[in-house]
Amino acid sequence: MQPKEVLEFAREKGVQILDLRFTDLPGLWHHVSFPIHELEESNFEDGFGIDGSSIRGWASIHESDMLLIPDPGFPWMDPFCETPTLCMIGDVVDPISREHYPRDPRYVAKKAEAYLAYTGIADTAYFGAEAEFFIFDSIRFDQREHCGYYFIDSEEGRWNSGKEGDNRGYRPRYKEGYFPVPPTDHYQDLRSEMVRVMEQCGMTIECHHHEVATAGQTEIDQRFNTLVKSADNMLLYKYITRNVAQRHGKSVTFMPKPLFQDNGSGMHSHQSLWTKGKPLFAGDKYAGLSQMALWYIGGLLKHGPAISGLIAPTTNSYKRLVPGFEAPVNLAYSRRNRSAAVRIPMYSASPKAKRLEFRPPDPSCNPYLAFASMLMAGLDGIENKIDPGQPLDKDIYDLSPEELKNVPTMPGSLEEALNNLKKDHAFLLKGDVFTEDVLDTWINYKMKNEVHAVNLRPHPYEFALYYDI
């Protein structure tokens, strides 16, 4: 929409409140609301003033004044507010220089799209994210000087099979939730409601289903879109799933690995490059790929350890990315084989369907930074003609130690991932897409507030191991 169309849309819908959304560096949506009479056509250039001093990863207090410029291209009505509320995403601008704020993650993603066009390699990058999540009935956790614990409960959790009282018994076994019909699948109607609300807000959804784990693990698949739009949609996806669950007395988490010894939640990311409506990843090479697609894969595999600090950016991510379990830690590619980090889907022979799926990311990431980093890694592969090596068309989990030693792997911890990002990030700086300041801020924030914070605290299992030592 254009600004005038947004104002007309607001009048037609009887809007009373304008809600502007923006994203902090770790990837959490924030918002600020205004009476609708405050929205004028001039605001799409002049913006709205906000204080950015308390936003994680943003400016210090002495330079905290920021402007939010509404993006008229993506308005929607909030489906959860009693008062008619128009939502838009805001781009963050420095009020003095009138330049985009470099630490605004959405600006990083926009620069990645601009850099793609600048290279002449393609004019559009499409991303399709398959984000998994859990639906729980109850979550309790705390961490203090003298205690630390969490307790999860889910009516669908297999551990409730022996519950006394009203117990009908239908629950997915551990690692067997993919995908039985109701009543074993408890959340068909809840997922369908999430899908209805998503489509009401302008998203296009392809399917939904139960995932592998017990206790309500779920996946709702979105239609692919451009890089920035897909990242916008990912944040709206999280907002809708959480709020639909909330009004049914449930809680949704995108934490990658909340359950011990059951599957974690990934965010498999399908991606392809196009020019003037023509797909560029279809060709006559392996699995129907073009040479460009293979070089793109080469870039993802080469820089996988570095971008892991952005696509799997929590300490909990590396409870999922564990060798020998369900997540693809081995940096290899294959058609159909889901044990490879890069999979080439073979559902359709159509050139328009030709894409690759990068499987290590998880939904704890900031999608703007994650998608931008994957694109920059792939473009570096194309620009430098990085050979991805030979495909691995057998189950990686069945390889012998001798065979596995020649297959590079993802990092084993967030600290290792951040150290890889620190060493290998020149490809991210091309076109000023990422800056040294953004990467330094990200690495320092993650090290201080997550890596070191977790390392300092005793783990509950350490008491089982060491209390009587």
Residues annotated catalytic, as ranges: 51, 130, 132, 211, 219, 268, 338, 357, 359
- Residue 85: exposure state from Cβ atoms within 10 A (0-12, 13-18, ≥19): buried
- Closest to 319 in 3D by CA, of 261, 252, 254: 261
Tokens at residue 400, please?
């012998």
Amino acid letter, residue 53: S
Alpha helices in 53-200 (DSSP H): 105-119, 188-200
Plot region of 221 (φ>0 → left; ψ -120 to 50 → alpha; else → beta) = beta
What is the Cα–Cα distance from 293 to 383, expressed in whole angstroms?
12
What is the Cα–Cα distance from 155 to 249, expressed in whole angstroms?
12
Length of the chain: 469
Tokens at residue 54, please?
């308390």
What is the Cα–Cα distance from 212 to 274, expressed in whole angstroms?
33
3-state SS assignment for residue 285: coil
What is the Cα–Cα distance from 153 to 215, expressed in whole angstroms?
8
